[in-house]
Structure 1
Amino acid sequence: MLNLIRSTLFMILLTPFTIVYGVFAMFTFPLPAHTRYRIITTWSSIAMWLIRNVLGIRHRVVGQEHLPTAPAVILCKHQSAWETISLQTIFPPVAFVLKRELLRIPFFGWGLAQMPIISIDRSAGKDALKQVVDQGRDRLTEGFWVVVFPEGTRAPIGAAKRYKIGGATLAVETGSLVVPVAHNAGEFWRRNAFIKRPGEVVVSIGPAISTAGRSAEEVNAQTEAWIEGEMRRLFPHHYTGTPAAAVTAEA
């Protein structure tokens, strides 16, 4: 019952704030990209305050010393909406790869459109990969880190989907490092679940992966091996059967 009350209060507070902020964000379009980013991501900081103090979901980051000095491609596990908010406060300025349909959501999508995003048409097939590379190269040149969820969609903790190659291809094409990220947000904020549970999300940032002289397939496989291995190392209670070492060896 307490979690239902927490979750209801969270939505009551966040929804009107998002509507007002979405309208406000629309008027930032004449400003430079980094200025728009700093203004609009104050929404994320306030949302994280509500997540921490209303929902009771805290987080802890390990491996922050692995972050390179130049903008890189972040390949992150995808379990919930939590990471789409939190990564904006954990990393330097980021640009998310997202489906174009999100920009049509009233208020939220309108504000999102003013962010340095990479919007793709997922029905475009191979052209979608070109959209990621072309727009991603622009964002990296502008000084933004690019966040890609290689699984493409949210997967419950303890499960994994096939890692798509778009993020690794962007990194190889631009000569950027890849930063792998594992976390357990889905343990407390499940996909499409209204009721959230309090607890501590552990975000683990892995050593940067070099792309020099390597294929996108090799980089993607190494990224998947590290993320899935780290998931099993940190959160073994969500996995049965295949140990982390076997997953790494297979990848």
Structure 2
Amino acid sequence: MSFIRSLIYALCFVLLAFILGPLILLARPFPFHKRYKLAVQWPRLLIYLAKIILGIRYEVKGQENIPTDRQVIYLIKHQSAYETLFIPWFTPYPVVLVYKKVLEYIPLFGWAMASLNNIPIDRSKGSEALRQVLRKGSKRIEEGRSPVLFPEGTRTPVGHKGRYQSGGVRLAMHSKTDIIPVAHNAGKIWPGRSFTKRPGLVTISFGAPIKPEGRSSDEIAAEVEHWIESEMIRMNPEDYPSSNPADTPVYSRSKKG
């Protein structure tokens, strides 16, 4: 039954792409806030359909930690596609996504993402990619948008963590913008590399703002990683070897597939 529901959901995803994708592209001449208001209906509908078709519900913890009077940088645990759909429509300010440039080659979906002035990066370019994140990320913050980054760089299986990258932390220091760490357990219900989704409750937890002023990048990065991984253990302790995030196995991209 889960496979059939997942198939129906996938068909709805494609249908929405054919309906909303062209509309978003046609809206390019309009001001950004109007285009974003249209574009954000796409993930909103997909989250709603996930509830109706797949039986995937969500609960939010720490919503009071999200400032409503200023932009922040969201550094998010990456296990699934669910969190990438949830964050854009839930947060108070328009977001700007930092993602792999190859995603823009996906027909309709990728083209729509590119039309919204997000930040595609080519990881193979190393320091140049980081400079691009700092330059464009700071500009988008000035324009009133909140950057979204996945510091692990790739989706990790449940019970694992990736090697946290410093791009989001450096952007926070460069732009003097607070960081909101985000943990969730969507990977248990919507596995990152599985077609079949399972019904259940996704918990999304927002941490308190982390201020970058007067601190080193290593110190901030360690706090971000510790909070996210500790929160992951708190939500689902049965998936981890101990209550110490240092004991969580590190997932290597070379193991993908």
TM-score (norm 1): 0.94
User: Alignment RMSD, CA only?
Assistant: 1.4
Pair 1:97–1:160, CA change in 2 (3 A): same
Match of 1:76 in 2: 76
Contact between 1:76 and 1:148, CA under 8 Å: does it hold in 2?
yes
Find the aligned partners of 1:74 and 1:245 in 2 and give their Cα distance.
20
Query: Is 2:174 the counterpart of 1:173?
Result: yes
Contact between 2:229 and 2:245, CA under 8 Å: does it hold in 1?
no
Find the aligned partners of 1:246 and 1:124 in 2 and give their Cα distance.
30
> Where does structure 2 lack aligned partners over 5 or more consecutive residues?
249-257
SS at match of 2:195: coil
Find the aligned partners of 1:89 and 1:17 in 2 and give their Cα distance.
16
Contact between 1:228 and 1:247, CA under 8 Å: does it hold in 2?
no
Stretch moving more, 148-157 or 112-121: 112-121
Which letter does structure 1 place at the counterpart of 2:47?
Answer: M
What does 1:1-251 align with in structure 2 at a 5 Å threshold? 2-68=1-67, 69-92=69-92, 93-240=94-241, 242-244=242-244
Find the aligned partners of 1:238 and 1:51 in 2 and give their Cα distance.
24
Contact between 1:233 and 1:244, CA under 8 Å: does it hold in 2?
no
Contact between 2:17 and 2:109, CA under 8 Å: does it hold in 1?
yes
Q: Deviation at 1:91? A: 1.1
Contact between 2:100 and 2:121, CA under 8 Å: does it hold in 1?
yes
Contact between 1:225 and 1:247, CA under 8 Å: does it hold in 2?
no
Contact between 1:78 and 1:151, CA under 8 Å: does it hold in 2?
yes
Q: Deviation at 1:224? A: 0.3
Stretch moving more, 27-36 or 204-213: 27-36
Matched residue pairs, number?
Answer: 246
SS at match of 2:115: coil
Match of 2:253 in 1: none
Which letter does structure 2 place at the counterpart of 1:11?
Answer: A
Stretch moving more, 118-127 or 176-185: 118-127
Identity across matched positions, percent:
41
Per-residue CA deviations over 1:139-191 (Å, capped at 9, x if unaligned) read 11111111100000000111001100000000000000000000000001112
Find the aligned partners of 1:172 and 1:90 in 2 and give their Cα distance.
25
Q: Deviation at 1:217? A: 1.7
Pair 1:244–1:233, CA change in 2 (3 A): farther
Which letter does structure 2 place at the counterpart of 1:156?
Answer: P
TM-score (norm 2): 0.92
